[in-house]
Every structure is written in C-alpha cells, then in structure tokens.
C-alpha cells in the first residue's frame, strides 16, 4: 500500500538515492520528522534507473560505499572490484532494509514544485499526485546525472522500431538477439553497453559525435584477503578518502610529465593503464590537468594504445579524442576498443558524416540511411542543474530557481542559494560532486546539512539563507579554480555544452574534496559564515 503523505514534516527530501537514504537515516537520529519523495518504485537513484547492459560503477566497491555504519562496512559482502548495476542496487536495497528506510519514503511520486512561504517560514511542497506537504526544510537529493536527455535530432518520433534511453532501461531487460541495433552516444553509458550489445546483436552501428578516453577496468572478483585487509583498516582508509582530491586515495604525483624521460613517462602511463583505475591515470603527473603540453603526452600515449588495439587504422583514428585527457569525464570499460574489431560492429564518425534525421526505418546521415530494429540513445543528461530546475522551486517573493539560474547556477558552497531560505542541495553545482567519488561527497554534504539543521533547532533558530555576497565570492572562486585547469577546453557536460542553449559555465568545484571539506568545516566553525541565520 502506498504510504500516506503527512500534511507537515520537519524536512522534505526529494530523491531516494544514496543521498536521500542517508539523509533520512541521519534526520531520524536527530528525532526530526521527514518524508522522502521518490519518482521510482524503489530506492537506488542512479542505480535504479540506469539498467542498461554493462552498467557498472567506475570507483571500486570498497571505496564506493557508505562509511557511516561500521557494521555495514564490515559485513557487506562486495563480490567484485567494480560492481555491476544490479549489485549496487542490491546494496542500496540492503541499506534500505537494514535501516528500515522505506516506511518514510513515498515511491512513484515526483515532486513538481515547492514554494517558500515567508510568513510561516516554511516550504509548501507539491507532488505530481497533488499531495501538498509543509516542511521547515527542503533538501534536493536529486542527483547530478538524473535528468536524462534525448538528442535534438529531427524525426525522433517517426522511428517504427523499438527505442530505449540508457537511463530509462526496461526492468525486464532487452533481448538484442538477431537485431540490427543503432546506438547514439559514446560517453560512459555507450562505452559500457556497446561491448555487451555487440555480443548479442546481429549488427551494431555506433554513432559517435565525440570519442571518449577509456581505460580498461580490469574488473575481477575481490579476493578475501584484500577485503579483510580493507576491513581491518577501514577508518584510516575513510580518512584518506576525505582528505583526497577525488574521494579516492592515490599516490600523489611529484613530477611533471615534462621533466621525465620518454621511457620513464611511458612506464608510468603503462602502469596506470594496467592498474585499471581512472584516478591512477589522472594522477600520473602533477600537471596533466593544468598544462596542455603535459596533457598532450598522455593524449598521444593513449592514442597509441587505441591504435594498438583497433585493427582498422581509420576506425582507430576516429576513436581518438582530440580534447585534453580528463577534461571530459573519462570512461572505464571492458573490451570497448576491442569491440570495434568485430565484424558485426560499425562506427560512424558524425564529425565526418553528420547525422541528419531519424526516419521510420532508422538513422539517416549525410551519406545514407541506416536501417535498424532498435535504436539506443546513450545521450546523457542535463547534468547538475536539470534535476533542480525541472522542479518549479519558488523562493522569497516568488523567485524562480530556474529563472535565477538562467545564466548559470549560483550557489554558496553548492549547498544553498541566495533567495531560497531553508533549501539545501546535496552535491549541488559549485561543489566537487561529479569530479569525485559521489558517495564520499554525498556523505560530507548530508553530514554538514544535518549538522546545520541540528544547530538551528538547538538554538531555536528558524531560517538559514546564503548571503548574496558570499555566494558571489564562491561562484567567482569556483570559476577561478576552473580557469587554472584545462577543463574549459572541452565541450563537456561539466560546462553544459551538451544541452543547446545552456550557458557555458563550469559547474563543479575543481579544488578537490579535501580542500572543499576544509572550507565547509571552517564555515561551520565560524558560525556558518556567509549564511544569514534568523529566529
């Protein structure tokens, strides 16, 4: 039976992914009433929706897991180095059972809008089913990659065959046996699903606008001894995660890519490639993210790897990215480049042969029409802001979040936004979020926000709101840090470049999770400096 929606709670949480689940757990411990609204039929967020074949996380399971419960950490039986989507969803479900979370989650219910009422100093939250709940606080735990995106291609609705988006994959799966399949998009979702679909389909044609850099995952089952070693030392590992740049501890590089010999450089890249770890690749040298010349050495080295693996030199050349390594999100794969050696797999380079339209029978490029039984869209998300601006959020004096952010998101610490009292974002734009191990960033934000809520309650205070000047300074700081890096050089979803008309603003904070946490802690220690707090 559907859970009855209470008329008033202390906190409304939107989303029952890893953020919303942990929020609920922490709020309950404070003795606060909360309701979580979730569009899906179960918990898991990203791992509930993205059920495409081959879906896996690109951070190791022992690191991509909650740290808040030592018992959970000690007992949860992770099986693989990089778990599959079903394994991660099972973990989310286990957490929901273990902490009895589902009784405060309203499933199948999308939040449509929320309006701040200054008189009662509370939010009125509305859902698609016309529920209305009053709450002191509203927390958007809606994820960074959750507003999926279909491409702007004429004729999308005309195709007579089956159509799927990787982020809305049918729960029963898709059988590609004997099918002629076209797939559009070669980000992580494309890179992970292409090798698996290729094994089943009669023919698979990949339409690539921008190639990805991808590293072989070298996935394997975890050995009992490595699990035991981690469990014996989990607290210090978690501490190292918190202090690291990306939420995954690495050996911090000490040398520039330009100060070593060619053979030393190649040996270092080779070791990173063999390690099957993206953070290892990105932390081979001190200057990969800041120096074009240094980055070029990694780029040409990876191009060499692609040419080594892929038999057809033209296909290999088409698979080689031209933007700096790491400036678009790199991928972790199993047999990605190898898949292009299969007879039933074809690559269409849309830079050379532009996509014209979707037709009744398939995909038409400038060259010809390709006929398919199935088209898969692996075309990504309106990242970081889409899941926030898709909800009609109205702050002080009816201020619309979407309109306020029309020239780019403006937040203080990626947590709050001026004009929107008592509204918090988990891993919002302006925080490390997508540049980090998401679970590390999620736990940090949830802890920080819940501590603030507790502080307000204990002091008898009712509202908290980012100050415009603190927000302006933070936005400038986020931009300044991005400006030191090569990130602005690629057309990435970090910059909103995949959504026509979206302002080109680098959204995540690139200073690292360790530095960011320190800043957040300082703000709290100084009595939540930069926030206006009132009774």
Tell me if 427 sits within 8 A of 503, measured CB to CB: no
**Binding string to ligand NA7 for residues 211 to 250, with x set by CB under 6 A, is what?**
----------------------------------------
Binds ligand NA7 (CB under 6 A): choice among 76, 340, 412, 493: 493
Segment 338-357, which members bind ligand NA7 (CB under 6 A)?
A: 350, 355
Distances (CA, A) of 191 to 21, 198, 510: 29, 11, 25
Which segment (81-89, 92-100, 186-194, 509-517) binds ligand NA7 by CB under 6 A? 186-194
- Could you tell me if 17 and 42 are in contact, meaning their C-beta atoms sit under 8 angstroms apart? no
Residue 187 interacts with ligand NA7 (CB under 6 A)? yes
Q: Where are the beta strands (DSSP E) in 261-387?
A: 331-333, 345-349, 355-358, 362-365, 369-371, 374-377
Parallel, antiparallel or unpaired: strands 122-127 and 132-140: antiparallel
Q: Which is nearer to ligand NA7, 136 or 149 (CB)?
A: 149
Contacting residue, 92, 124, 174, 378, with ligand NA7 by CB under 6 A: 378
Rounded to whole angstroms, the Cα distance separating 242 from 479 reads 23
In the list 51, 56, 102, 209, the residue contacting ligand NA7 (rule: CB under 6 A) is 209
Smallest gap from residue 420 Cβ to ligand NA7 (A): 27
Nearest to 411 by CA among 456, 352, 477: 477
Stretch that binds ligand NA7, among 80-88, 197-205, 256-264, 374-382 (CB under 6 A): 374-382
Measured between alpha carbons, how far is 480 from 497 in angstroms, rounded to an integer? 19
Q: 25, 56, 329, 502: which one contacts ligand NA7 (CB under 6 A)?
A: 329
Q: Which of 61, 122, 210, 327 binds ligand NA7 (CB under 6 A)?
A: 210
Closest CB 441 distance from ligand NA7, rounded Å: 13
Applying CB under 6 A, does 142 fall inside the site for ligand NA7?
no
- By beta carbon distance, the residue nearest ligand NA7 is 187
| Closest to ligand NA7 by CB, 294 or 383 | 383
Distance CA(505)–CA(512), nearest Å, equals 18
Q: Do 531 and 459 meet the contact criterion of CB atoms below 8 Å apart?
A: no
Find the binder of ligand NA7 among 19, 61, 189, 241 (CB under 6 A).
189
Q: Is 322 one of the binding residues for ligand NA7 (CB under 6 A)? A: no
Inter-residue contact 234 to 75 (CB < 8 Å): no
> Is residue 216 within 8 Å of residue 339, measured between CB atoms?
no
Part of the chain binding ligand NA7 (CB under 6 A), chosen from 16-24, 104-112, 115-123, 376-384: 376-384
Give every CB contact of residue 217 below 8 A, 6+ residues apart in sequence.
56, 58, 81, 82, 276, 332, 333, 334
d(CA 289, CA 107): 41
- If one asks whether residue 380 binds ligand NA7 (CB under 6 A), the answer comes out as yes
Q: Closest distance between ligand NA7 and the C-beta of residue 152, in Å?
A: 6
- CA dist 381 and 398 (Å) reads 28
Cβ closest to ligand NA7, residue 92 vs residue 125: 92
**Residues between 144 and 173 with contacts to ligand NA7, criterion CB under 6 A:** 145, 151-153, 166
Among the candidate windows 91-99, 180-188, 247-255, 267-275, which touches ligand NA7 by CB under 6 A? 180-188
Which residues from 51-110 bind ligand NA7, rule CB under 6 A? none
Q: Is 323 in the site for ligand NA7 (CB under 6 A)?
A: no
Task: Calculate the dihedral angle through the C-alpha atoms of 397, 398, 400, 404, rounding to the nearest 10 degrees.
Answer: -20
- What would the two tokens of residue 192 be? 């992970």
* # binding residues, ligand NA7 (CB under 6 A): 22
CA distances from 225 to 228, 231, 275, 383 (A): 5, 10, 18, 38
Q: Is 190 in the site for ligand NA7 (CB under 6 A)?
A: yes
Which residues in this chain contact ligand NA7 in the complex, by CB under 6 A?
145, 151-153, 166, 184-190, 209-210, 329, 350, 355, 378-380, 493, 498
């Amino acid at each position: 039976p559907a859970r009855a929606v209470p008329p008033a709670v202390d906190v409304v949480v939107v989303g029952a992914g890893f953020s919303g689940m942990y929020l609920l757990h922490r709020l309950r411990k404070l003795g606060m009433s909360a309701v979580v609204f979730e569009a899906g039929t179960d918990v898991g967020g990203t791992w509930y929706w993205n059920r495409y074949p081959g879906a896996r996380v690109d951070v190791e399971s022992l690191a991509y897991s909650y740290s808040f419960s030592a018992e959970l950490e000690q007992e949860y039986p992770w099986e693989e180095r990089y778990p599959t989507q079903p394994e991660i969803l099972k973990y989310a479900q286990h957490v929901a059972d273990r902490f009895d979370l589902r009784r405060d989650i309203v499933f199948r219910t999308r939040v449509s809008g929320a309006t701040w009422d200054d008189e009662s100093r509370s939010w009125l939250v509305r859902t698609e089913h016309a529920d209305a709940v009053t709450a002191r606080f509203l927390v958007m735990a809606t994820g960074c990659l959750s507003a999926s995106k279909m491409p702007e291609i004429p004729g999308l609705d005309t195709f007579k065959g089956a159509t799927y988006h990787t982020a809305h994959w049918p729960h029963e799966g898709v059988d590609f046996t004997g099918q002629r399949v076209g797939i559009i998009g070669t980000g992580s979702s494309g890179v992970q699903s292409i090798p698996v679909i290729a094994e089943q389909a009669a023919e698979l044609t990949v339409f690539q606008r921008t190639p990805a850099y991808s590293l072989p995952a070298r996935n394997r089952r975890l050995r009992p001894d490595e699990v035991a070693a981690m469990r014996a030392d989990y607290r210090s590992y978690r501490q190292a995660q918190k202090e690291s740049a990306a939420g995954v501890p690495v050996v911090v590089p000490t040398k520039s890519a330009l100060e070593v010999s060619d053979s030393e450089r190649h040996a270092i890249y080779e070791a990173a490639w063999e390690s099957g770890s993206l953070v290892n690749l990105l932390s081979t040298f001190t200057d990969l993210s800041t120096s074009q010349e240094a980055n070029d050495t990694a780029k040409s080295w990876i191009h060499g790897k692609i040419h080594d693996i892929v038999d057809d030199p033209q296909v290999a050349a088409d698979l080689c990215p031209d933007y700096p390594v790491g400036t678009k999100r790199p991928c972790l794969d199993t047999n990605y480049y190898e898949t292009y050696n299969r007879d039933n797999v074809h690559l269409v380079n849309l830079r050379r042969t532009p996509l014209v339209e979707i037709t009744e029978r398939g995909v038409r490029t400038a060259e010809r029409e390709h006929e398919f039984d199935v088209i898969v869209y692996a075309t990504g998300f309106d990242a970081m802001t889409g899941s926030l601006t898709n909800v009609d959020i109205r702050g002080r004096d009816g201020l619309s979040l979407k309109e306020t952010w029309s020239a780019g998101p403006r937040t203080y610490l990626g947590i709050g936004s001026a004009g929107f009292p008592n509204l918090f974002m988990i891993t919002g734009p302006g925080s490390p979020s997508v540049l980090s191990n998401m679970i590390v960033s999620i736990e940090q934000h949830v802890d920080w926000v819940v501590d603030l809520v507790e502080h307000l309650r204990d002091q008898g205070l009712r509202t908290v709101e980012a100050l415009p000047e603190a927000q302006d300074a933070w936005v400038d700081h986020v931009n300044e840090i991005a400006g030191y890096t090569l990130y602005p050089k690629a057309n990435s979803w970090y910059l909103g470049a995949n959504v026509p008309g979206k302002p080109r603003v680098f959204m995540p904070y690139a200073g690292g999770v360790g530095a960011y946490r320190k800043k957040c802690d300082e703000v709290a220690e100084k009595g939540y400096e930069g926030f206006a707090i009132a009774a």
